[in-house]
Amino acid sequence: MIAYQNIIDKIAIDSKNTLNKGVVASYIPELATINLNKFGIHILDAKNNNYSSGDALEGFSIQSISKVLTLALSFGIIGDDLWKRVDVEPSGDPFNHLSLLELENGIPRNPFINAGAIVIADILASHLKNPKEDFLNFIRELTNDPSIRYNEKVALSEKRTGFKNYAAANLLKSYGNLHNDVEIVLDFYFHQCAIEMNCKQLVNAFYIFMNHGTCQRGKNYLNVNQVKRINALMLTCGFYDEAGEFAFEVGLPGKSGVGGGIVALLPNTYCVATWSPGLNKKGNSKLGMAALEELTTRTGHSIF
Ligand code: DON
């Protein structure tokens, strides 16, 4: 039996005491106001035990973490046709880079860079009756928590400053890889990123990825091979041009967001979420990465 609680309590104390916490994302003005001193960590194991430390129950903007959930929903709807419109290779570039998109004729490298996630948002805009409502309901169902909401201020803040995402969507449109209007797709995309969740809600949502596609209440959403593919993408592309570093340091599939959250999981064993709003130069949570390195090193539990 691993002493998860002792380990995460120590990690939370160390993180609160660390002086260099990174820098909060300021390119989305609404995120620049977040308190840099927040730190939360939550673990849910395969036997449904919960371990929590620090600010694990305080909500934050999940940002790019939402890309795993939109991928899961769209993969469940259209299956392998999805890979005709988005590739599965790491880009080695920052999350918002556009040069490869033009070189590769409008097929984004993977579903986690912004251009790839915008294609996924387009697929959902085509297949869901009320995309924003239906996606939120999907997350509420996965977490069994109807309190989860969009933060409209964050969505609007990003819409006003999301010039690169407009550029990506227009480029995709020019290559025929965006079927709906740019405005409609980006409105959905900015909202999915502006969902607010806490660490505990995130591990509840990501439980399906450690449990072969079946949620805590026993409902199945994805088959084992679909989960294999999503976890492989998290491992190889979940941290953009820092995916190698995250695999090297932490050794788990995971996904970050510029709100400072990270979710990672060890199939059949546990799912963990961290929140520390300060980011490193690659846009990933500085102390979140350090915390997860400490966790997998102290427990000896990674996929390797
Ligand atoms: O589109 C954007 O730039 C943001 N809404 C999400 C970027 C993000 O979270 C990158 N992850 N670390």
Residue 275: C-alpha distances to residues 35, 61, 184, 192, 219 (Å): 11, 10, 30, 18, 28
Closest CA to 67 of 225, 245, 206: 206
CA pair distance 136, 140, nearest whole angstrom: 6
What pLDDT was estimated at residue 60? Answer: 98
CA pair distance 184, 208, nearest whole angstrom: 29
Evaluate whether 158 touches 194 at the Cβ level (below 8 Å). Answer: yes
Q: Number of C-alpha atoms within 13 angstroms, CB side, residue 90?
A: 17
Is 61 marked active-site? no
What pLDDT was estimated at residue 1? Answer: 74
CA pair distance 209, 65, nearest whole angstrom: 13
133 marked as part of a ligand binding site? no
51 in helix, strand or coil?
strand
User: Distance from the CA of 3 to the center of ligand 1, in angstroms?
Assistant: 34
Atom 1 of ligand 1: nearest residue by CA position: 114
CA pair distance 275, 87, nearest whole angstrom: 29
Determine if ligand 1 sits within 6 Å of the CB of residue 64: yes
Rg (CA), the chain: 18
Positions of CATH 3.40.710.10 in the chain: 4-63+195-299
Taking only the tens place, the pLDDT of each residue in 65-74 is 999 999 999 9
Strands 270-275 and 40-45: antiparallel
Tokens 């920052």 locate to 94
For residue 16 the two structure tokens come to 């609160």
pTM: 0.98
User: Distance from the CA of 117 to the center of ligand 1, in angstroms?
Assistant: 10
Q: Number of C-alpha atoms within 13 angstroms, CB side, residue 140?
A: 11
Taking only the tens place, the pLDDT of each residue in 160-215 is 999 999 999 999 999 999 999 999 999 999 999 999 999 999 999 999 999 999 99
What pLDDT was estimated at residue 2? Answer: 83
Positions of CATH 1.10.1500.10 in the chain: 80-192
User: Distance from the CA of 256 to the center of ligand 1, in angstroms?
Assistant: 9
Pocket test of ligand 1: the residue of 258, 275, 281 to mutate, having most ligand atoms within 8 Å of its CB, is 258
Tokens 């990506």 locate to 168
Atom 7 of ligand 1: nearest residue by CA position: 64
What pLDDT was estimated at residue 258? Answer: 98
Determine if ligand 1 sits within 6 Å of the CB of residue 128: no
DSSP 106: T
Pocket test of ligand 1: the residue of 26, 60, 61, 63 to mutate, having most ligand atoms within 8 Å of its CB, is 63
CATH 3.60.21.10 is held by the domain 4-63+195-299: no
DSSP result, 267-288: TTTEEEEEE---B-TTSSBHHH
158 marked as part of a ligand binding site? yes
258 marked as part of a ligand binding site? yes
CA pair distance 45, 2, nearest whole angstrom: 11
What pLDDT was estimated at residue 285? Answer: 98
User: Distance from the CA of 113 to the center of ligand 1, in angstroms?
Assistant: 8
Please name the amino acid found at residue 67.
K
User: Distance from the CA of 64 to the center of ligand 1, in angstroms?
Assistant: 5
CA pair distance 277, 59, nearest whole angstrom: 12
CA pair distance 217, 122, nearest whole angstrom: 29
Determine if ligand 1 sits within 6 Å of the CB of residue 258: yes
Is 64 marked active-site? yes
Q: Domain 80-192: which topology?
A: Probable Glutaminase Ybgj; Chain: A, domain 2 (1.10.1500)
The residues of the chain scoring below 50 in pLDDT are: none
Rounded to 5 degrees, φ, ψ at 265 are -150, 150
Determine if ligand 1 sits within 6 Å of the CB of residue 91: no
Atom 2 of ligand 1: nearest residue by CA position: 114
Determine if ligand 1 sits within 6 Å of the CB of residue 211: no
Closest CA to 5 of 46, 41, 39, 37: 41
CA pair distance 282, 242, nearest whole angstrom: 7
